[in-house]
A and B are shown apart, each in its own frame.
Chain A
């Protein structure tokens, strides 16, 4: 189990130090600083073993979070906890920065006491934590006995993530499908590796204790439904706003994980996703697909070396989705050799600039419709060096945002049942949004 948790700033100074177990000494704090933060070579591995002690770290902007243990723990669990910890902190005081951590250190210690007990992770659901750990100081005086016992029963009860007696005048539901598409392509346009990692994020403002049921075009569910002869309930065309050009009906999900509120037993037996949602924003599920990915952009590079002192680069990008949809925040990053001494860029659309500090030409386009194409050409002047090392030609990378799910995932339905209060599925206002973003989207040149 986790023996201790430290938070450092970028210089390696300790901001938060909480030790849960005696086997972690004070020198562990220094060991991590010396061997990881101040290491001569940048430490890439998130797990570091120093003197039979394991350090698991994540970095958020300039802040290091490190969990320490002497035992053989499940590393995935520790990282899950660290990420959760980041979420909790972010929901309490926004961006995780040195400033914010210093301003909220009492709160952080309070949270650490609550979400880890003797190194065992406890309830880390922001919604329920906020009922008894607040930023407004001690509320205890005003709280009645009942309120306190209510918190206790809720936190220790079966549905720890939702309290009773929530009431909204308007029952609303927001559903976001957020995907990031990763690609590595050869210069000739051959896909070397590609995958989509997606998340379904929900924001629910529902009264009472509603029971929800979520359906999507997962291959297995659809096959099952088809065989079972159940009538297709996906008649809610208002929910499906996908931009997929292919008429494909279902997608193959490689693996997925669910929020704790989802009844896994029901998923295992019926492949149906049913749950009592927490109040407010939460991540319902996470998934990954590798097959039949819609690649929103195609990058065609053309690099020509003219003598020792000149390099000509031409890059064409083609958008590959419905013309009616608009991609946004497009950014193409073309790396330049280390001995670049000057760059001239010509582009038809957007703005392009040579950024010396990043050794790259950055080409930005605000908006681009589907089935279009655009190009940039650049002349790079080189300074002859006595170094005989050849330029390694790093890949051209790209960033964008498109209003559809590149995996092809579609929400088929989301039903809400609340038996005690008298509102039905039709009374709930539902919003669905698809956002596809680039992950590591690279093309070799």
Chain B
């Protein structure tokens, strides 16, 4: 750089800056700046020609004002003019101004680019450097577009000066990082690699940054750099500390270059060429050897430089993971650092060891340091180092030392920092599960964990315990005993209560034999915690209570008393209240058999990825690598949970963690249709709110926690072709509201009302997807003779159904005369271009037009006898396909539309109904008698259904319809 002569000092600028510095207040400063700006404006006024010096001075002042935080909206032109000056200082100021204050004024950009182009093609190395620096500093897309082709040429040209090459390499690196698509690979790439052999160390250092960046994107193109880098590295490493003169830093030869070379090598697998590999191994050994040598200087810079190279070399060794000898040596070296005075070194050593631990060659070597690491965990002052120590413990854990490590981590947990507690808890939980030899140890560990750090035990952890306990018969008894003992502590964490409630509810019977843990004692213990818990836990406890009723009938009275108390049955929380009411009813109404079925022991959970592992992965950004490695190890080695571990790891790749509340407890989901998207679920709520008595009676059975029976609403059906819609039709014989049809895209809900011979039906089409349906069209048709029997009028629906939205259609039905078939509903729409075509039967059956008729026994029998002609009677004897529950039967018969006549039939078991079918043409009286033989064995129960009506077709049809219902 040319020396700045005295005349270039710019006195005016110095005076201005000192004026500003001397300003007493902000106002004074602003005044001074305004004055100066006005002065500069008057100087820049077009008519006067300014010499280069004053132009430079004023541009400098503007720059200074801008850097003080004021807006500058002029002077760009003058700055661009400076670029074409021949004086270095003027050019420099011009470039400086443009680098700082460039804006996207197209006109100016063109001028700037032109000036830069001129400088690049000039022979003057300083000007070229200035131009390159400007490009790199601005680094905008326009610049990249203009110069991405030019710079590589300068970089590889034979006659370019070293300093320019350096700048060019770094400038290209910047452009590549800013807009990689504009920097095209070409024939220059191979020549760039050869810069590694350049005489000038500066060029090599600059080039290697560029090559590292480029080769990480396209490794193949730069493959040749490996051997070059190795030879360069070996030359540096083997050189005496004085050989490199300028590039020796505190007796360490070219430390930056060495680090960069080692980092470049980490982009590639170990070299295949034996000679190259030998040379590299030699280098690495030399580096490791040098670390052992006594330091040549006491200065901290010396050891920093040396250690930087060493750590980079160790990362490379770990990256290669193929030289057991080197790995063990690296591990030993790190082991020395573990006790080093320097905190940073300890941190780095622990961090590198974490990765070393995952290598099969060095795993054993790492394990030898376990005492030191445990010590670090306990005594280290810096929390980040302790965190690393915990990570390392986690990484080095295997079957042989699991118990020790888990015990150490548990004991550390009591004093651990709050910031890392949750992560520690997860780690302990995972280790305990993975390396559990006997599950009683596992249960002990987790319960301990909950006891020590209950607040930090996430849901997943205790879900997992329960999963494992339920799936393993051998630990259930032990688990029940342990939780029982743990619950006896006066203060338990809520998570402990949850685990306790669940396990005792399931397996309390296993320890009931012991008088110290008799059923009542168990119950009282759980109930003593009840009032201290939050609502979800209380809900869980209530479920545990009902399970107790099943397990220990002797506790029934006590528990019913509890459920009946106002604090439960009138609880302000809806969930608790509902549970209390339902459980109370369930326990008082249902027979022991029903109870036993409903409250059966939970079936084993399907094996899947430990949700804890997923949680840990989510939690840890940087640590994720070690977890991933962990997975790899799990797959390779036979350890811990045996085959289960492997399964889990494989499942990890494709299984998304299911929502924990659904997977573990199978707690009742409030949405009646499983698998609907939330929006679709909510939009159908109104339909279900009036679902009628049959739905509520089914509701209890729906409770997923109590039984694993599928929900009553058929939701699993694939998009049905026409024949299957008969089944759907049968569903609606006895009810008017519900879900008619559902597949992945569409849900159709129905709400209907009938009066005399008229009916109105509301169809709700719910779009379950997030994509809109187009050309949505529905038609209702009456095939064959139905046309003359039924008059159906529909209103058209909007052709567009937005994603997640619901549209309503009203259908008016008039019954002209009695009929057999049902009208057809055809739905057509386009979903993502594909035409969907669905045909269904509308659930309009003759019984919908029933008018209930109340009558006395005498009347009934009189009419019964009047309708005694054989064609007026239809009779069917059929097997009961559902249980013979009185209430359910009654509800169904009422749903049919007839009046249920009590005390008519001499046999109280029998049901008798009467009604009139209203059609436009005529009214058809109809009498019904249903005789169950309830005393028969379950499975052999039969019904006899007799129907008499004034019209033979009606008798037959109603009989057919009804026979399907029981």
B-facing residues in A3-58 (Cβ within 8 Å): 10, 42
> Contacting A359 at CB < 8 Å: which of B32, B34, B42, B108?
B34
Give B36-74 as 1s and 0s: 1 = Cβ < 8 Å from A's Cβ atoms: 011101101100000000000000000000000000011
Closest to A382 in B: B41
CB within 8 Å for A341 and B76 given contacts A62-B24, A358-B31, A386-B103: no
B-facing residues in A273-307 (Cβ within 8 Å): none
CB within 8 Å for A383 and B44 given contacts A356-B35, A356-B38, A357-B35: yes
A341 touches B24 (CB 8 A): no
Interface membership of B25, Cβ < 8 A: yes
Distance in angstroms between the alpha carbons of A384 and B73 in the assembled complex:
9
A342 touches B42 (CB 8 A): yes
Distance in angstroms between the alpha carbons of A62 and B24 in the assembled complex:
9
Interface membership of B591, Cβ < 8 A: no
CB within 8 Å for A386 and B74 given contacts A10-B25, A62-B24, A357-B31: yes
Distance in angstroms between the alpha carbons of A62 and B23 in the assembled complex:
12
Interface membership of B415, Cβ < 8 A: no
What are the residues of chain A within 8 A of B34 when measuring CB–CB? 356-359
A341 touches B73 (CB 8 A): no
Distance in angstroms between the alpha carbons of A171 and B26 in the assembled complex:
49
Interface membership of A381, Cβ < 8 A: yes
Chain A nearest CB: distance from B125 CB in Å? 33
> Contacting A339 at CB < 8 Å: which of B31, B39, B41, B76?
B41
Interface membership of A340, Cβ < 8 A: yes
Distance in angstroms between the alpha carbons of A359 and B32 in the assembled complex:
11
Interface membership of A387, Cβ < 8 A: yes
A383 touches B74 (CB 8 A): yes
Chain A nearest CB: distance from B77 CB in Å? 9
Give A383-400 as 1s and 0s: 1 = Cβ < 8 Å from B's Cβ atoms: 111110000000000000
What are the residues of chain A within 8 A of B39 when measuring CB–CB? 356
What are the residues of chain A within 8 A of B37 when measuring CB–CB? 338, 356
Closest to B26 in A: A42
Q: Give the contact-size bracket for chain B.
A: 20 to 34
> Contacting B45 at CB < 8 Å: which of A10, A62, A341, A385?
A341
> Contacting A341 at CB < 8 Å: which of B25, B41, B105?
B41
Distance in angstroms between the alpha carbons of A168 and B44 in the assembled complex:
69
A341 touches B31 (CB 8 A): no
What are the residues of chain A within 8 A of B25 when measuring CB–CB? 10, 62
> Contacting A381 at CB < 8 Å: which of B32, B45, B105?
B45
Give B303-334 as 1s and 0s: 1 = Cβ < 8 Å from A's Cβ atoms: 00000000000000000000000000000000
Closest to B44 in A: A383
B45 touches A357 (CB 8 A): no
Distance in angstroms between the alpha carbons of A357 and B33 in the assembled complex:
7
Chain A nearest CB: distance from B15 CB in Å? 16
- A: number of interface residues (CB 8 Å): 18
What are the residues of chain B within 8 A of A340 when measuring CB–CB? 38, 41
What are the residues of chain A within 8 A of B31 when measuring CB–CB? 357-358
B-facing residues in A341-376 (Cβ within 8 Å): 341-342, 356-359
Distance in angstroms between the alpha carbons of A358 and B32 in the assembled complex:
9
What are the residues of chain A within 8 A of B103 when measuring CB–CB? 386
CB within 8 Å for A339 and B73 given contacts A10-B24, A356-B35, A358-B31: yes
Distance in angstroms between the alpha carbons of A386 and B111 in the assembled complex:
15
Closest to A341 in B: B41
Give B69-112 as 1s and 0s: 1 = Cβ < 8 Å from A's Cβ atoms: 00001101000000000000000000000000001010010000
Chain A nearest CB: distance from B78 CB in Å? 11
Q: Which of B26, B31, B37, B44 has the most CB of A within 10 A?
A: B37
B-facing residues in A88-128 (Cβ within 8 Å): none
A385 touches B73 (CB 8 A): yes
Distance in angstroms between the alpha carbons of A289 and B37 in the assembled complex:
42
Distance in angstroms between the alpha carbons of A384 and B24 in the assembled complex:
33
Give A63-77 as 1s and 0s: 1 = Cβ < 8 Å from B's Cβ atoms: 000000000000000
> Contacting B44 at CB < 8 Å: which of A338, A341, A358?
A341
Distance in angstroms between the alpha carbons of A69 and B74 in the assembled complex:
48
Chain B nearest CB: distance from A355 CB in Å? 8
Distance in angstroms between the alpha carbons of A141 and B310 in the assembled complex:
83
Distance in angstroms between the alpha carbons of A171 and B42 in the assembled complex:
62
Chain B nearest CB: distance from A393 CB in Å? 18
Distance in angstroms between the alpha carbons of A387 and B32 in the assembled complex:
22
B-facing residues in A372-427 (Cβ within 8 Å): 381, 383-387
Closest to B33 in A: A357
What are the residues of chain B within 8 A of A358 when measuring CB–CB? 31, 34
Distance in angstroms between the alpha carbons of A347 and B39 in the assembled complex:
23
CB within 8 Å for A357 and B42 given contacts A385-B73, A386-B74: no
What are the residues of chain B within 8 A of A359 when measuring CB–CB? 34, 38
Chain A nearest CB: distance from B300 CB in Å? 36
What are the residues of chain A within 8 A of B76 when measuring CB–CB? 386
What are the residues of chain A within 8 A of B44 when measuring CB–CB? 341, 383
What are the residues of chain A within 8 A of B24 when measuring CB–CB? 10, 62
Chain B nearest CB: distance from A158 CB in Å? 46
What are the residues of chain B within 8 A of A386 when measuring CB–CB? 73-74, 76, 103, 105, 108
Closest to B103 in A: A386
> Contacting A357 at CB < 8 Å: which of B32, B73, B74, B105?
B32
Distance in angstroms between the alpha carbons of A385 and B73 in the assembled complex:
6
What are the residues of chain A within 8 A of B74 when measuring CB–CB? 339, 383-386
Give B761-772 as 1s and 0s: 1 = Cβ < 8 Å from A's Cβ atoms: 000000000000
A383 touches B35 (CB 8 A): no
Distance in angstroms between the alpha carbons of A381 and B108 in the assembled complex:
24
What are the residues of chain A within 8 A of B108 when measuring CB–CB? 386
Q: Which of B32, B41, B44, B76 has the most CB of A within 10 A?
A: B41
Q: Which of A341, A385, A386 has the most CB of B within 10 A?
A: A341
Chain A nearest CB: distance from B434 CB in Å? 49
B45 touches A383 (CB 8 A): yes
B32 touches A383 (CB 8 A): no
Distance in angstroms between the alpha carbons of A385 and B74 in the assembled complex:
5
Closest to B41 in A: A341
Distance in angstroms between the alpha carbons of A109 and B38 in the assembled complex:
46
Chain A nearest CB: distance from B513 CB in Å? 63
Distance in angstroms between the alpha carbons of A342 and B108 in the assembled complex:
25
A387 touches B45 (CB 8 A): no
Chain B nearest CB: distance from A432 CB in Å? 38
Chain A nearest CB: distance from B34 CB in Å? 5
Give B334-358 as 1s and 0s: 1 = Cβ < 8 Å from A's Cβ atoms: 0000000000000000000000000
A383 touches B105 (CB 8 A): no
Chain A nearest CB: distance from B637 CB in Å? 57
Chain A nearest CB: distance from B45 CB in Å? 5
What are the residues of chain B within 8 A of A381 when measuring CB–CB? 45
A-facing residues in B12-29 (Cβ within 8 Å): 24-26
Distance in angstroms between the alpha carbons of A275 and B260 in the assembled complex:
90
Distance in angstroms between the alpha carbons of A10 and B35 in the assembled complex:
22
What are the residues of chain B within 8 A of A356 when measuring CB–CB? 34-35, 37-39
Chain B nearest CB: distance from A57 CB in Å? 16
What are the residues of chain B within 8 A of A387 when measuring CB–CB? 73
Closest to B35 in A: A357
Closest to A354 in B: B38
Q: Which residues of A contact B (CB under 8 A)?
A: 10, 42, 62, 338-342, 356-359, 381, 383-387
Q: 12 extra interchain contacts, Cβ-Cβ under 8 A, other than A10-B25, A340-B38? A: A10-B24, A62-B25, A338-B37, A339-B41, A339-B73, A340-B41, A341-B38, A357-B31, A359-B38, A381-B45, A386-B76, A386-B105
| A–B complex contacts, Cβ < 8 Å, 21 sampled | A10-B24, A10-B25, A62-B24, A62-B25, A338-B37, A339-B73, A341-B38, A341-B41, A342-B42, A356-B38, A356-B39, A357-B31, A357-B34, A358-B34, A359-B34, A381-B45, A383-B44, A383-B74, A385-B74, A386-B74, A386-B105
Q: Which residues of B contact A (CB under 8 A)?
A: 24-26, 31-32, 34-35, 37-39, 41-42, 44-45, 73-74, 76, 103, 105, 108
For the complex of A and B, list the 9 residue pairs with the smallest distance between their C-beta atoms, beginning with the closest: A356-B38, A357-B35, A387-B73, A341-B41, A357-B31, A385-B73, A341-B45, A356-B35, A383-B41
